[in-house]
Structure 1
Amino acid sequence: MKTDAPRPRRVTKRREETRQRLLDAAGEVFAEEGFGRSTVEQVCERAGFTRGAFYSNFTSLDELFLAMWERQSALMLDSIRASLADSATRPTLMTVDTAVERVLAAIPVDDTWYRITAEFTAHALRNPALKRVMAAREDAILHTILPIVEDALAAVGRRVADRNALGRALVALHDGTTVQILMEPENEAVRQARQRLFVTVVSSYSSTDTNRR
């Protein structure tokens, strides 16, 4: 007798709301206690759920953090897309400087999120399997962002020869200047220097598109 294959469990509205509350609670707990000192019990207490609710959604705090990271990355990507939405339809309004300014404005430097991710990164460096997972997800995010950046540059008549090199340069620059801003949050000169550095890097890794008419 033929039997039907098991169907994937449907994500109900209630289940999704539970996940979001757990993610929100985890962000608060991680920020206050530090990832390494946080527990499932603390997250559940903050969210108002039992351990059963936690383990019906996540297998561990590691998996929960990765879900937080994906959510944060999706929000960032949406903000970047929105900031550059008119680059193709109204290219006369866009230059490399304005494109960089818009993208940086769409990626806020957040002290709380930086501390959470820095602590989790240190945790992942001690776990080879988790380190590989993080590296793969970072690559996936980068490969999503780069086409958006390339389209914005194309709108101002520039092309990228090596997208991977540009991507790694932008990540390194973002990480380094984020620390500088967090150390001197009131220093406007640091923010301006950050923007100039991004313009320099983007200009250095792109060139005028001679085929553009």
Structure 2
Amino acid sequence: MPPTRRRVETLRRLHEAALAVFAAEGFGRASVEQVCERAGFTRGAFYSNFASLDELFLAMWADRSRALLDDLRRALEAADTAAVTTARDVVELVDAAVGVDDAWYRVTAEFTAHALRTPGLREVVAQREDAIAGTLTPVLVSFLRRVGREVPDPRALALALVAVHDGTTVQCLVEPDDPAARRRRLDLFEAVVLAYTTPGGDA
């Protein structure tokens, strides 16, 4: 049974409040009470939906991943095929759809550190990352084929791109007004795509 409109709204407000609190206070210092106060709910409303802040974050992550995939699909579907002819063109499209989000990066970086200290949670995070990569990669592979690039090992490409995204996001956030940081990010993405693909595809 799909969730009621009221529950959807409750979850939306909890997610928005949690992101704001986690980003401002730090995941490790945030409390259920702070999230509830920000959302305008009681603790009962929180615990009727989530068992812990960990569970709330994982739900936020799932929602954000779905939204990212939708944005990426829309960007690729709306792209002018005649204007997108190289791996660099694909990289720029994907980067524009994914973007660099200061608040989300701070929250995910802290949650990842928390997960690494919690064996059971670490396994859940690894499974979620695999699922996200498994969903996003076919979209990217399909578009790369349109510009004449085959992907022999999609998983290896996905992991390499995630590594570049995480590392260059820090640089872009530390130097937000430096266009060279953004250019280096795109250059690295392009280099990885070319390194993990071969000529071929539909072009």
Shorter-normalised TM-score: what interval?
over 0.9
- Which residue of the partner structure matches residue 72 of structure 1? 64
Q: What amino acid sits opposite 2:100 in the alignment? A: V
The offset of 1:104, in angstroms, is 0.3
Q: What amino acid sits opposite 1:104 in the alignment? A: D
Between the aligned partners of 1:183 and 1:212, the Cα distance in structure 2 is 39
Between the aligned partners of 2:198 and 2:189, the Cα distance in structure 1 is 15
Between the aligned partners of 2:63 and 2:8, the Cα distance in structure 1 is 13
- Which residue of the partner structure matches residue 27 of structure 1? 19
Aligned equivalent of 1:40, options 32, 35, 43? 32
**Which structure is higher in helix share?**
2
Higher mean C-alpha deviation, range 38-47 or range 127-136: 38-47
Q: 2:157·2:193 contact (CA, 8 Å) conserved in 1?
A: yes
Between the aligned partners of 1:97 and 1:39, the Cα distance in structure 2 is 43
- Which residue of the partner structure matches residue 81 of structure 2? 91
Q: What amino acid sits opposite 1:190 in the alignment? A: A
Aligned equivalent of 2:175, options 175, 184, 205? 184
The offset of 1:92, in angstroms, is 2.7
TM-score (norm 1): 0.90
The offset of 1:41, in angstroms, is 0.9
- Which residue of the partner structure matches residue 4 of structure 1? none
SS across alignment from 2:198 = strand
Between the aligned partners of 1:76 and 1:212, the Cα distance in structure 2 is 26
Mark the runs of 5 or more structure 1 residues left unpaired by the alignment: 1-7
The offset of 1:212, in angstroms, is 4.5
The offset of 1:64, in angstroms, is 0.3
Q: 2:147·2:202 contact (CA, 8 Å) conserved in 1?
A: no
- Which residue of the partner structure matches residue 136 of structure 1? 127
The offset of 1:51, in angstroms, is 0.9
Q: 2:146·2:202 contact (CA, 8 Å) conserved in 1?
A: no
Change (3 A) 1:172 1:12: same
Between the aligned partners of 2:196 and 2:133, the Cα distance in structure 1 is 16
Q: What amino acid sits opposite 1:96 in the alignment? A: A
SS across alignment from 1:85 = helix
Pair member with larger Rg: 1
Q: Pairwise CA RMSD of aligned residues?
A: 1.5
The offset of 1:86, in angstroms, is 4.4
Mark the runs of 5 or more structure 2 residues left unpaired by the alignment: none
Task: Give the count of matched residue pairs.
Answer: 202
Q: Please show how residues 183-202 of structure 1 align to structure 2 within 5 Å.
A: 183-202=174-193
Q: Please show how residues 145-160 of structure 1 align to structure 2 within 5 Å.
A: 145-160=136-151
Percent sequence identity over aligned pairs: 56
Q: Describe the superposition over 1:61-120 as per-residue Cα deviations: whole angstroms up to 9, x where unpaired.
A: 000001111111112111111111146xx5332121111101001112111111111111
Between the aligned partners of 2:202 and 2:121, the Cα distance in structure 1 is 44
Aligned equivalent of 1:108, options 83, 99, 108? 99
Change (3 A) 1:86 1:157: farther
- Which residue of the partner structure matches residue 119 of structure 1? 110
Q: Describe the superposition over 1:150-188 as per-residue Cα deviations: whole angstroms up to 9, x where unpaired.
A: 111111121101111111111111111111111111110
